Structure 1
Amino acid sequence: MKVIVIDDEPAMHYIMSRLLGKFPGVEVVGCFEDTVSAVRHMEEHEVHVAYVDISMPRETGIQFAERIAQLHPDLHIVFVTSNDEYALHAFELAALDYIMKPVMPERLEMSVNRARALFHSRETAEEPDANPVRIYALGGLEVQTAHGSVKWISRKSAELFGYLLLHQGRVVSRVRIIADVFGDMPPSNAEKYLNTSVYHLRKALDPHGLKSIVQSDSEGYRLHIVNASIDFIAFEENVKRLAEIESSNLEQALESEAQYVGDLFGERGFGWALSDMERLSALYAAFVKKLAKVLLERHEEETAVRMLNKLFNRNELDEETVELLLYAYAAKKDQASLAKLYRNFVKGLRLELGIDPSKELEAVYARLQASWHAG
């Protein structure tokens, strides 16, 4: 099933492509910032479903749906929006679905399944010798192949996969694995659970043709994966490539920011992964701050505010993030949000740490407030 994404915010292209790309048989054949480009593509290529933002300049998603009904009556429209006021109108236009942002994977799956049912077609599997592997470890732990998602048989088998994944192909001794992954068990039980977890892991990977990637020798175990994309590795490489953010690579920077959907392994919270989790988290924070400064220079305050709030929710006591948010709200002329942010930050500092903001931040806030009243 061929789908396209139409949204004037480039970051949504990456988010939707990543989410849709997890569903077997779904192919994202294009992402467009305006409806004109999308229609031009549909004139020359087959498209079955369009995921369309409603609030866009020039032609809204609603206007697009009304027009496209005449040009491409077989196209199914799924509206993806931050506003629910258009829901009734959307379904009057026979929209396939109406999804609210932020898009949840479970909600998107319902939409994809609905589209599949309309086409009366079964999901298509790729050839066995061309079986790309996608590994998502930011925000959780998921392995996707052409055959779907790997179903973990046990919690420890999933943890073992994550542990070997983090060692990126190196052989890890049984002694070290037992100490790191099974250290809370008596030695005799730990040895047994390691063997059982290896068995469960290989059994879970077998339906995907991946049983052989768990390799062992007299020393220990390793993962040997060919043709795999691993999100946290790709994120780190992208950030290093984007040492300088400018107009030519701004969209790539936005895509990289959107790629970081959560900390390494998410709520699983493996103790042995703590240092890597903190390193990637710090890398993400520094990258967002650098990107936000570029966006503010380009007067793209809305996008900057969205990213900085995402960062602020991760650490509400980070003064540098707060300072950038204050500048962003001031640029938006949003005095209410500016004042509320500062009050809450001061309250949080005093409650959690028993301190006041730095003199520098106090001066920034006073200057922004003064400039507001002067204007």
Structure 2
Amino acid sequence: MKVLIIDDEKAMHLVMSKMLGKIPDLEIVGMFQDSLRAFSYIETHSVDLVFVDISMPKENGLDFAKRMAESDRDLPIIFVTSHKDYAMDAFDVYALDYIVKPVSFERLEKSVNRARAIHHYDYSDKKEDTFFIYCFGGIEVRSSMGPVKWISRKSEEVFAYLVMHHGRMVSRERIIEDIFPEMPRKNAVTYLNTVIYQIRKSLDPHGLKAIVHSNKDHYGLDLENATIDFVELENKLLTLDETSPEYMEEALRIEEVYIGPLFGERAFLWSFSDIERFHRLHGTFVKKLVPELLKNKEHNTAISLLKKIWSYNELDEEVVELLLHSYASKMDRVAFIELFEQYTGMMKIELGTSPSKELVGYYSEQLRELNRK
């Protein structure tokens, strides 16, 4: 099912894409801040379902729905809005559903299932054992039956470990060395066998038990039918076309895949190098994206993305300089000063030093400019 999101708030794009991304057989093909551009997209692209906000500038969601009906397109529309007062108006234009913010995943999933049932979307070409693995910000495995419930935290960890090996078989000795390093070998072998049994048992209700492979002394996962978020991120970054007119929208959609560090609070000791690798990959991408956002006067989006990577390392001077530049471009003198003072304080407390001369010089020069305006 190909889905479009229309909301003038970029924050809702992040919220909706994160939740919709957990629903199997659903692809977000576009996210727009106004319905006029969305309508143009629909005229030339295949779309199965639209989530649209009602209160928007230029053309509101109700007018958009009326225009869709007048164009004789039988396209299901689900309104997502902060206002309950529009409910009757929404159904007057034959909306499929009406969801009041804040949106819950359960409510969203119910609406999607309703759209599938009413409009009879055919997914016969999809393999029944298609499933999703989310590793950014935590660890979650989800099939059409819902999320996998792990029997133990260790079974979750070993599964995550095998996922990071991309379907390759891993020796028992290496697994023991990385995950059970302090346990006597005999006990570790017994424990590992128990954990593998628990993984299969957890996956069984989802029809995924057979993806766990083992031989005499190796274990691995068959991930042919899995969609894995970190694999998707790397692949999409490799194919991102900077010359495309849709570059910015596509780049922001790709960025949203990285909802937090690999495995989130479940950061396993063996995963630290991969956590750092993806953090650098995401950070480099955001730093490259910010100048383009500022050029398009998307100051709030640039600031939001920079704060996201700054939260992982508040001593990153390059990010601080980009944030200062963003505040200066926005003419936000108060935030500009507060950020520099906050960073200066952290440098003194954490490292017993001061910001570089280059940053201090940049700050002083920009502050003079802001004071003149």
TM-score normalised over the length of structure 2: 0.82
User: What amino acid does structure 1 have at the position aligned with 2:106?
Assistant: E
- The separation in 2 between residues aligned to 1:173 and 1:130, in whole angstroms, is 30
3-state SS of paired residue (1:262):
coil
CA distance in 1 between partners of 2:313 and 2:183 (Å): 34
More deviation in 300-309 or 18-27? 18-27
Secondary structure of 1:189's counterpart equals helix
Task: Give the CA deviation at 1:15.
Answer: 5.8
Structure 2 vs 1, CA of residues 120 and 237 (structure 1 numbering), >3 Å: closer, same or farther?
closer
- Aligned in 2, Cα 1:318/1:124: closer, same or farther, shift over 3 Å? same
RMSD: 3.7
The corresponding residue for 1:239 is: 237
Q: In the alignment, what sits opposite 1:334?
A: 332
CA 1:27–1:361 in 2, change beyond 3 Å: closer, same or farther? closer
CA distance in 2: counterparts of 1:124 and 1:204, whole angstroms: 29
Residues 81-96 of structure 1 mapped to structure 2, 5 A cutoff: 87=83, 89-90=85-86, 96=98
Q: Quick one: distance in 1 between partners of 2:122 and 2:235? A: 32
In the TM superposition, 1:1-375 aligns within 5 A as: 4-8=4-8, 16-24=16-24, 31-36=31-36, 41=42, 50-53=50-53, 56-61=56-61, 64=64, 77-79=78-80, 87=83, 89-90=85-86, 96-100=98-102, 107-113=104-110, 129-242=127-240, 245-246=242-243, 248=245, 249-375=247-373
The offset of 1:217, in angstroms, is 1.4
How far apart are the structure 1 equivalents of 2:285 and 2:4? Answer: 29
For residues 253 and 116 of structure 1, the distance between their equivalents in structure 2, rounded to whole angstroms, comes to 29
Distance 2:152 2:350 in 1: 38
Per-residue deviation at 1:345?
1.2
The residue type equivalent to 1:109 in the other structure is E
User: Alpha-carbon deviation of 1:149?
Assistant: 2.3
Post-superposition offset of 1:277: 0.5
CA contact (8 A) 2:65 2:77 kept: no
1:83 counterpart residue number: none
Q: Structure 1: which 5+ residue stretches go unaligned?
A: 81-85
Equivalent pair of 2:7/2:52 in contact (CA under 8 Å): yes
Provide the C-alpha distance between the structure 1 equivalents of 2:74 and 2:124, rounded to a whole number of angstroms. 29
Superimposed CA distance per residue, residues 38-91 of structure 1 (whole angstroms, 9 cap, x where no aligned partner) = 56859x9996x75324564312347657988999999664425xxxxx535455
Cα separation, partners in 2 of 1:88 and 1:215, compared to 1, 3 Å: closer
Cα 1:245–1:26 change in 2 (3 A) is closer
Task: Go from structure 1 to structure 2 and tell me whether the alpha carbon gap of 1:374 and 1:293 turns closer, same or farther (over 3 Å shift).
Answer: same
- Equivalent-residue separation in structure 2 for 1:368 and 1:188 (angstroms): 65
Query: How far has the Cα of 1:167 moved from its partner?
Result: 1.3
What is the rounded CA distance, in whole Å, between the counterparts of 1:284 and 1:115 in structure 2? 30
Unaligned ranges ≥5, structure 2: 91-96
Query: Shift of the alpha carbon at 1:17?
Result: 4.0
In structure 2, C-alpha distance between the alignment counterparts of 1:178 and 1:131, rounded to whole Å: 29
Contact 2:131/2:227 (8 A) holds in 1: yes
**Partner secondary structure for residue 144 of structure 1:** strand
Farther-moved stretch of structure 1 (334-343 vs 130-139): 130-139
Deviation at 1:373, TM superposition (A): 1.8
Q: CA deviation at 1:322?
A: 0.9
Change in CA separation of 1:193 and 1:228 when aligned onto 2, cut-off 3 Å: same
| 1:97 match: secondary structure | strand
Give the Å deviation of 1:10.
7.3
Question: In the alignment, residue 58 of structure 2 is paired with which amino acid?
Answer: R
Q: What is the distance in 2 between the residues matched to 1:358 and 1:30?
A: 42
Identity of aligned residues (%): 43
- 1:274 to partner: Cα distance: 0.6
Deviations along 1:328-352, one digit per CA (max 9) or x if unpaired, are: 1111111111111111111121122
Q: Contact between 1:301 and 1:332, CA under 8 Å: does it hold in 2?
A: yes
1:25–1:360 CA distance, 2 compared to 1 (3 A): closer
Q: Is the 8 A contact 1:350 1:356 kept in 2?
A: yes
* Number of equivalences: 363
What TM-score do you get using the length of structure 1 for normalisation? 0.81
